[in-house]
């Protein structure tokens, strides 16, 4: 539900803020938050950083998991919830599983690149040895709008750039 003020919505709003900041840096606007499930303490917050870091693996989820694990001094986060604004890709789904994340909450579904509800459906595979609880759809419209606006602006910029050859 987009209109309720549940703790999930509050944390997803923080993830959306990270996504907005990423977009402002010229990154695809995706954000992630790692929260200690029982206490609600935020351990890490990150936006997508692939461009600035010149790192194809610097997805918001990976950066947030790394930061949270570093804070804890342990590679596994079995008492944590990961909030992310878009359905995780296969790489991030694997990282979430390796981190033993207890609960995954994502906003918008991603039929093109997602790996939870779509594509490989990573957590349902027999080779996946830890499956988090999964909830999705919280603030989905807001998350999808951010992405749509970002890609529309980028396509517009591309078109302007290509105008000399595109006009006939
Ligand atoms: Zn990813």
10 Å CB burial of residue 4 (0-12, 13-18, 19+) is exposed
Question: Could you give the 3-state DSSP secondary structure of residue 30?
Answer: coil
CA 168–ligand 1 middle distance (angstroms): 40
Burial class (CB in 10 A: 0-12, 13-18, 19+), 62: buried
Of 148, 146, 165, 166, the closest CA to residue 30 belongs to: 146
**For the whole model, what pTM was predicted?**
0.91
Residue 158: the pLDDT is 74
* 139 vs 86: CA distance, rounded Å: 10
CA of 125 to the centre of ligand 1 (A): 18
| Active-site residue, 18 included | no
* Parts of the chain with a pLDDT under 70: 1-4, 159-168
Reading phi first (left if > 0) and then psi (alpha if -120 to 50, else beta), residue 74 is in beta
Q: Out of 61, 87, 162, 168, which one is annotated catalytic?
A: 61
């Amino acid at each position: 539900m987009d209109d309720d003020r549940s703790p999930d919505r509050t944390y997803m709003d923080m993830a959306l803020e990270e996504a907005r900041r990423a977009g402002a840096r010229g990154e695809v606007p995706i954000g992630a938050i790692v929260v200690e499930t029982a206490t609600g303490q935020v351990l890490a917050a990150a936006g997508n950083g692939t461009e600035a870091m010149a790192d194809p693996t610097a997805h918001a989820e990976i950066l947030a998991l790394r930061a949270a694990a570093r804070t804890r001094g342990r590679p596994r986060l079995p008492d944590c919830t990961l909030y992310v604004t878009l359905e995780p890709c296969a790489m991030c789904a694997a990282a979430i599983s390796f981190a033993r994340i207890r609960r995954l909450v994502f906003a918008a579904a991603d039929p093109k690149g997602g790996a939870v509800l779509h594509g490989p459906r990573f957590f349902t595979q027999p080779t996946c040895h830890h499956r988090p609880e999964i909830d999705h759809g919280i603030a989905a419209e807001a998350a999808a709008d951010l992405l749509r606006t970002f890609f529309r602006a980028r396509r517009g910029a591309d078109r302007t750039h290509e105008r000399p050859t595109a006009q006939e």
